[in-house]
A = this chain, B = another copy of it.
Amino acid sequence: MGAPVEPESVRHVACVGAGVIGGGWVAHFLARGYRVTAWDPAPDAEQKLRRLVDAAWPALTELGLAPGASRDALTVTSTLDEAVAGAEFVQESAPEDLELKQDLLARIDAATPAGVVVSSSTSGYGMTEMQQRCATPERLVVGHPFNPPYLIPLVEVVGGERTAPEAVRWASRFFEVAGKSVITMDREVPGFIANRLQEALWREALHMVAEGEATVEQIDASITEGPGLRWPFLGPCLTFHLAGGEGGMAHMLDHFGPSLKSPWTRLEAPELTAELRDRMVEGCEETADGRSIADLVADRDRAVIAVLRAVREVRGGGA
């Protein structure tokens, strides 16, 4: 497949489905200066969508709009065909229902100009199962955002079995140009990456509430007052890289490896093979990108202070 335009040249994006996620995408693309056509079958969809965009606009203005960005660049169409007709990229954000997604993606595929990449916001289905009814499945990818898509940078991009590798590369590049942080996966994994991690934490939280070990309030406070303050800056791997002191991840795994077997969480620990150990250690070194533990600690402290202050200010002036 050959996409009609380069990712850098896209000017017109179509959003199919305009609920919380689809509407969030609309707000994001408008703020990045794109012309957006949107369609949603709900009778009050346009009103809700414009309300969502209006509510997000002050935040987006504060973060900095792209030159020429305007809410007037949004057209809500009365049919799916009109929405995608002139689009150079299509983002689908329908409810999570496999049958519905399969049908909708086939309809989008039939109505969208040849070669234009079509991306799905699905948070859980693989593209292999979703693209089954499409005539040109090679242009379909998953582009999984996080709520709200106009603020949280992450998009996970992955194709299905019948997706052309070129479509995955095109979509990843397009999302980057459109201001997102992109993780391109080379294989389909249920839940992608972030949701698997989030879901493991969430299931443990549900178990704790079910067993009466902690309340909802304690669970939330244990994150917002604790590890959550590090996570906007240090991911889980680099967090533990620092927990190893000067020895970093290597020390952490070699010395605290056995405590992996402790009865913390109901998720069984993986076997800490030499290979896994080395992969973690090398991965941390790559991710640290030349920064020593002391550098990382200094950066972390500055970041945590900045995050603490930011959160305090919002709380202080909050509703």
B-binding residues in A (CB < 8 A):
19-20, 55-56, 59, 62-63, 96, 124, 146-148, 151-154, 156, 181, 183, 185, 187, 189-210, 213-238, 240, 242-243, 245, 256, 259-260, 262-273, 275-276, 279-280, 282-284, 286-287, 291, 295, 297-311, 313-314, 318-319
Contacts and interface: CB of A to CB of B under 8 A. Distances in A.
Contact of A222 (B235, B271, B308): B235
Contacts of A156: 222
A229 B146 CA distance: 10
How many copies the complex holds: the figure is 2
A214 B189 CA distance: 9
7 contacts: A153-B226, A196-B204, A209-B276, A220-B234, A224-B232, A233-B314, A306-B314
A202 B305 CA distance: 24
A219 to B, nearest CB: 6
B200 A204 contact: yes
Most buried by B among A56, A198, A304, A311: A198
Given A228-B235, A237-B216, A305 B151 contact: yes
A260 B205 CA distance: 13
A156 to B, nearest CB: 7
B299 A303 contact: no
A203 B269 contact: yes
A169 to B, nearest CB: 16
A319 B264 CA distance: 35
Contact of A210 (B189, B223, B273, B311): B273
Given A228-B232, A232-B228, A286-B216, A197 B205 contact: yes
Given A208-B193, A264-B191, A273-B210, A245 B319 contact: no
B200 A146 contact: no
Q: Among the interface residues A187, A210, A216, A298, which one has the most CB atoms of the partner chain B within 10 A?
A: A216
Contacts of A227: 146, 152, 194, 197-198, 231
B308 A151 contact: yes
Q: Nearest 7 pairs between A and B by C-beta?
A: A220-B235, A216-B283, A191-B264, A228-B231, A306-B310, A154-B226, A267-B267
